[in-house]
Structure 1
Amino acid sequence: MSGDLGQRLQSVRKRRGLTQRELAANSAVSVSLIRKIEQGERDDTRIETLRRLAVALGCPLTALIGAAPRAPESRDGELWAATRRAIDAPRPDVAVEPHAEEAVAESLAAAVRLYHDNRYELLARVLPDLVDASESVSPVLRARILQLTGSVMVQTRQLGTARRVLDHALAAAQASDDLLDAASVVVTLCWLLLVERRFQQVDDLAIDWADRIEPRISTATDRELSTWGWLLLRGSAAAIRDNRPDDADDMMRFAQAAAVAVKREPRGYQDYWTVFGPATVAMKRVENAVIDDRPDLALRLAHDVPTGLRPTSDNRNRHLLDVARAHLDLARPDPALDILIRLSGEARPWLIEQRLAKDLLARLIGRRRTLTPEMRTLADLMHLEY
């Protein structure tokens, strides 16, 4: 108890930018007692004393004495509650006239833009109606609506809901007889499985579907190449996490061949979902190097990633977190902090959903005796636990 209490007190004090002596002056608790608490030498500290410390620090008392972790703000709660209700209690009575299907498709395109622009508050307002409308539209449009919904659920780590909605999306895509749409859903399903650390299932799914749609590179469309390439990237991501670097490299090489054929990432999100090209593969090479505990290689590979990429939650922002992690692994905290500050300005709604970002910030803070104002602002923004 005393050791944990001391660690919590020290963490909160550093977050507030106070020295032990300053905290003593603000709380009327002796500096010697504060020092002993933080060093784990006092296990009989009175609750009144702890309360004075909490008041001086401007934090709840439970932040010092330890309580059940608080639930993430809105991520698994009210923000997406209406979307979850629409998924779990479908309304097939929502009529969509044949001529109105085009309007639903336009609404879907607008929702995709909201997702990629990290505008979650607005997306949470429109997504339930789209899910309701998916019951009465063509299978291919239903599959695309549910794939977007599943991606949102994965992004916000509502994994059980994500599994249910992606299963429905795959069934709808297969009913549409559009093999590429079904394969696109599988790409998102593989992302869910990666988050769940079910690497062998990702490997099996990715290879199976890549074999099903394998294009002739010389004559394939960009859509065919992109879908095939993304399946290979998912398989490579699973292999490197499963300590199979040779398999990861093999799939990355095939993905690179597809990217070379595509030549460059298209502008915007064509063919509904995402982008694919040489920059995408370059970023995923960096990610694999970080996972493989080769931060020096990751930073060298990062030089191959074009600058000026559009901030999106798909690839570029995650890539920047990978670069930040590589810097931290090489004991370079300043550029890692610069990246987190940059992302907090460019993609704040996305950043606060990322467990990796929180872990990186915790590592940064843990190495500092005192915190900068930027560090304290980031810690509050990302709800870093006391």
Structure 2
Amino acid sequence: MHGSTTVGERLRKLRLERGYSQQELASLAGLSVDLLSLLERNVRESMSWASMVKLARALDVDPGVIAGKKPSLDRVPGAAVLTIRDAVLNLSLLPGLHPDHDGEPATAADLWQLVERAYGAYFSGEFGALAAGLPGLINEARLLHAADSEAGAPALAHAWQLAACLLVHTGRDDAAAVAAERAIHAAKDGNDRSRLATLYGTYSWVMLHQGRLDEAERLAVTAADEIEPSMSKSPPQQITAWGGLILNAAVASGARADAERAEEYLRIASAGAARVGADRHDYWVSFGPSHVAVQTAHIMTALNKPDQALKASANVNPDSLFKVQYGRHLLNEARSLLDRRRTEKAVEVANRAHDLSPEWFRHQGFAQSLANDIAERKSRLSGPVRTLVQAFQD
């Protein structure tokens, strides 16, 4: 399935496997048969996330299958998606069994350095390097957690979180949900409610990628309510954790095409960001004025409101973002530019996203549909357009 090169080819194959006509599938999904026909004939190369979720539910697959997420990683020794999956679904995690390690556990300080290095790889888009080291990190964190649950809880929670994030990017959303749940259970052995709340945010993000939009919103709001801060008294880390959850809820609402609800969450987040002032990164969650602007642009892009997306984009400070955060924002900006028929500028911005991390770029289904739509607009593929299209050729 991942070898198919277009959304339309993947849709047609899934539809025929299930024995549906185009009219039957369109009816099941609550979409127009014209849209389905255009997609399958490759006349149209993309659709909204809300439409993709409806089709995924009708076909009984994860949205990532239709989006064509890449399951493979760059060639780094020891890097394999299945190795991460196997670390999450490890037999030694069953009751009564123990980590695959007979030595002394690492100290909490040494383990934390490994966690920080792993997050550095993740936010730089170095997925192969992250995958190579992540199974060992998980096992070391499990060993410390078994010896001292409170001391080992933070590192183990974040190791599982990293596994969940990487599995989402490589199209293994079910295993990602298991990893996100393990992160929550590990964090509960610690003493930091705000850290725990951010891991509920990761689970919400995984559900968003599974197309479980109502549940993703509900979980984010419930977790945010549990740590709702006093803006004048609460520590900034708590506000970051809370703000990140509110933005998760906004994105889920936007993906469901509920503009009114999404905009209400954005207003709440904007008030919190104004109180924080400068953007912050706590528990590897980001929150502040630039991040509210990033998610506003993301939501407005999803709602097909390119003018509002570009207006929000003007308030984004790239220096406040990690590399892949900025890359994802540039994809939204490029899509909005393309929707405004500013094709050359869209090509330029999309290539900036690609150049930040080609490895990360090729795992983005949104980037693939954008590249295809840009190519559709061009009668002749220039070098920059070929760069975008070739990023997704197997």
- In which range does the TM-score fall when normalised by the shorter chain? 0.7 to 0.9
2:206 pairs with 1:192: yes
AA aligned to 1:129 is: G
Tell me, which stretches of 5 or more residues in structure 1 are unaligned? Answer: 1-6, 9-39, 41-68
Hey, what does 2:158 align to over in structure 1?
Answer: 144
Structure 2 residue 359 is matched with structure 1 residue 349:
yes
Residue 212 in structure 1 maps to residue 222 in structure 2: no
**Contact 1:325-1:360 within 8 A present in 2 as well:** yes
- For residues 54-93 of structure 1, the aligned pairs below 5 Å read 72=70, 74-75=72-73, 79-89=80-90, 90=92, 92-93=99-100
Q: Which residue is 2:185 aligned to?
A: 171
Q: Does the 8 Å CA contact 2:161/2:199 hold for their aligned counterparts?
A: yes
Corresponding residue SS for 1:194: helix
- Counterpart of 1:121 in structure 2 is 128
Report the CA distance between 1:334 and its aligned residue. Answer: 0.7
Q: CA 1:237–1:310 in 2, change beyond 3 Å: closer, same or farther?
A: closer
Matched, 1:237 2:251: yes
1:287 counterpart residue number: 298
1:130 aligns with 2:140: no
In 2, distance between residues paired with 1:355 and 1:194? 14
- TM-score, normalised to structure 1, is 0.76
> What aligned pairs does 1:216-295 form with structure 2 within 5 A after superposition?
216-266=230-280, 269=281, 271-295=282-306
1:337 and 1:79 map into 2 onto residues whose CA distance is 32
Match of 1:362 among 367, 372, 380: 372
Find the aligned partners of 1:70 and 1:237 in 2 and give their Cα distance.
Answer: 21
Q: Note if contact 2:330-2:352 (Cα within 8 Å) is conserved in structure 1.
A: no
Offset at 1:328?
Answer: 1.0
* Contact preservation (8 Å) 2:106, 2:140: no
- Residues 183 and 199 of structure 2 are in contact (CA less than 8 Å); yes or no, is this contact kept in structure 1? yes
Residue 279 of structure 1 aligns with an amino acid whose one-letter code is S
- The more displaced of 142-151 and 228-237 is 142-151
- In the aligned structure 2, how far is the partner of 1:354 from the partner of 1:336? 17
Equivalent residue, structure 2, for 1:334: 344
The answer to whether the aligner puts 1:321 opposite 2:317 as a matched pair is: no
Q: Deviations over 1:49-107 (max 9, x none)?
A: xxxxxxxxxxxxxxxxxxxx999462499622322222222451425646622211111
AA in 2 matched with 1:86: A
In the alignment, is the contact (CA less than 8 A) between 1:311 and 1:347 conserved in 2?
A: no
Q: Distance in 2 between matches of 1:144 and 1:96?
A: 22
Q: 1:34 corresponds to which residue?
A: none
SS of 1:214's equivalent in the other structure is coil
Aligned partners of 1:255 and 1:310: how far apart in 2?
Answer: 17
Q: Per the alignment, in what secondary structure is the counterpart of residue 285 of structure 2? A: coil
Cα displacement string for residues 315-372 of structure 1 (whole angstroms, at most 9, x for unaligned residues): 3211111111101111111111101211222221111111011000100111222211
Q: Sort the Cα spacing of 1:245 and 1:156 in 2 relative to 1 into closer, same or farther, 3 A.
A: same
SS in 2 for 1:239: helix
1:170·1:182 contact (CA, 8 Å) conserved in 2? yes
Residue 155 of structure 1 is matched in structure 2 by 169
The answer to which of 229-238 and 132-141 deviates more is 132-141
User: Mean alpha-carbon deviation: is it higher for 230-239 or for 151-160?
Assistant: 151-160
> Structure 1 residues 96 and 319, CA, compared in 2 at 3 Å: closer, same or farther?
farther
- 1:163–1:192 CA contact under 8 A, matched in 2: yes
How many positions carry a matched residue from both structures? Answer: 315
Is the counterpart of residue 372 in structure 1 residue 382 in structure 2?
Answer: yes
Unaligned runs of 5+ in 2: 1-7, 10-40, 42-66, 93-97, 146-151
Is 1:296 matched up with 2:307? yes
Flag the 1:375–1:172 CA change in 2: closer, same or farther, 3 A: same
Determine whether 1:100 maps to 2:95.
no
C-alpha distance in 1 between matches for 2:167 and 2:71:
15
Alpha-carbon distance in 1 for matches of 2:337, 2:361: 18
Deviations 1:247-268 (A, max 9, x none): 21221111112211221124xx
RMSD: 2.6
Letter matched to residue 246 of structure 1 = E
Q: Distance in 2 between matches of 1:103 and 1:198?
A: 37
Cα separation, 2, equivalents of 1:223 and 1:309:
16
Aligned equivalents of 2:159, 2:105: Cα separation in 1: 17
**Equivalent pair of 2:253/2:259 in contact (CA under 8 Å):** yes
Query: Which entry has the higher C-alpha Rg, 1 or 2?
Result: 1
